């Protein structure tokens, strides 16, 4: 089976800073793979390189077996790869509904009317239907993150990269977001989730890739990662490990 997404020895340097160091990982079709690690580990840089917002210093990115290394973002998006931004970037002078409709027009919508209908469906799904007529500046941070996700979903992606969409959400909202991500998986969407909310990572991911200082520190199932001494020392910490062992979950 051809991988939905694959990076091969992917590196990125910013002057004297080596942000990514030969990162190789594979995401099979229909999987949810989590990417975790401390701040500055290279997680968002990895997403930016995969989606064409940054060019790698070396290495390759493959989508469905096709080498897309260095391709422009819109070319990669046209291949069915969508992403959210950690720093939200809506169109400030458009309504929430119009923001999502723009994504739908770039996706499969055949007319403005169809795009608006698609936007309404997605906003209902992410819990923003009642704020469809709002301006982005009127939204709290949690709703801005929902809007980022809605805009990505409007592209009707086959591969979705989400960058900390659960940051700032309350526990009940995190649970709802996890269920949404799992429902996307059931529909056949392949997902890479960059996330600090470990409860979400443990609940939804098939595999987890841990980055540390720009390199892959460890990779495995959520349970394997949670018990990996290297990961505990570099990121999770002993307190998290003890709490997880005592509760029997994450």
Euclidean distance between CA atoms 52 and 49, whole angstroms: 5
In the predicted model, is pLDDT for residue 135 greater than 50? yes
At 247, the pLDDT band (50, 70, 90 cuts) reads low
Instruction: Look up residue 113 and give its two tokens.
Output: 């009317």
Euclidean distance between CA atoms 190 and 219, whole angstroms: 18
The pTM assigned to this predicted structure is 0.90
User: For residues 178 and 204, is the Cβ–Cβ distance under 8 A?
Assistant: yes
> In the predicted model, what is the mean pLDDT of residues 65-93?
93
Q: Could you tell me the domains of the chain?
A: 5-80+157-247 (3.40.50.300), 90-156 (no CATH)
Poorest-pLDDT segment among 18-27, 73-82, 233-242: 233-242
Euclidean distance between CA atoms 137 and 158, whole angstroms: 30
List, for residues 148-168, the tens digit of each pLDDT value: 999 999 999 999 999 999 888
List, for residues 112-133, the tens digit of each pLDDT value: 999 999 999 999 999 999 999 9
C-alpha 20, offset from chain centre: 17
Euclidean distance between CA atoms 4 and 219, whole angstroms: 18
- Amino acid 15: pLDDT: 93
In the predicted model, is pLDDT for residue 181 greater than 90? yes
Instruction: Look up residue 142 and give its two tokens.
Output: 């949690």
User: For residues 169 and 180, is the Cβ–Cβ distance under 8 A?
Assistant: no
- Percentage of the chain modeled with pLDDT above 90: 80
List, for residues 35-49, the tens digit of each pLDDT value: 999 999 999 999 999
């Amino acid at each position: 089976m051809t991988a939905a997404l694959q990076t091969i020895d992917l590196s990125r340097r910013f002057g004297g800073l080596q942000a990514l160091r030969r990162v190789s990982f594979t995401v099979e079709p229909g999987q949810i793979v989590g990417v975790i690690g401390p701040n500055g580990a290279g997680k968002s840089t990895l997403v930016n390189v995969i989606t064409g917002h940054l060019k790698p210093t070396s290495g390759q990115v493959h989508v469905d077996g096709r080498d897309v290394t260095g391709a422009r973002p819109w070319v990669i998006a046209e291949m069915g790869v969508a992403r959210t931004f950690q720093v939200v970037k809506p169109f400030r002078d458009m309504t929430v509904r119009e923001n999502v409709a723009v994504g739908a027009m770039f996706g499969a919508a055949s007319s403005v009317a169809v795009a608006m209908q698609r936007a309404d469906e997605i906003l209902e799904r992410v819990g923003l239907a009642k704020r469809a007529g709002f301006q982005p500046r009127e939204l709290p941070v949690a709703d801005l993150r929902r809007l980022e996700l809605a805009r990505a979903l409007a592209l009707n992606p086959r591969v979705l990269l989400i960058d900390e969409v659960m940051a700032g959400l309350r526990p009940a909202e995190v649970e709802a977001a996890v269920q949404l991500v799992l429902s996307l998986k059931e529909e056949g969407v392949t997902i890479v989730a960059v996330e600090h909310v470990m409860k979400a990572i443990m609940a939804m991911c098939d595999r987890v890739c841990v980055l540390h200082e720009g390199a892959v520190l460890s990779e495995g199932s959520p349970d394997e990662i949670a018990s990996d001494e290297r990961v505990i020392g570099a990121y999770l910490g002993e307190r998290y490990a003890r709490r997880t062992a005592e509760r029997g979950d994450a």
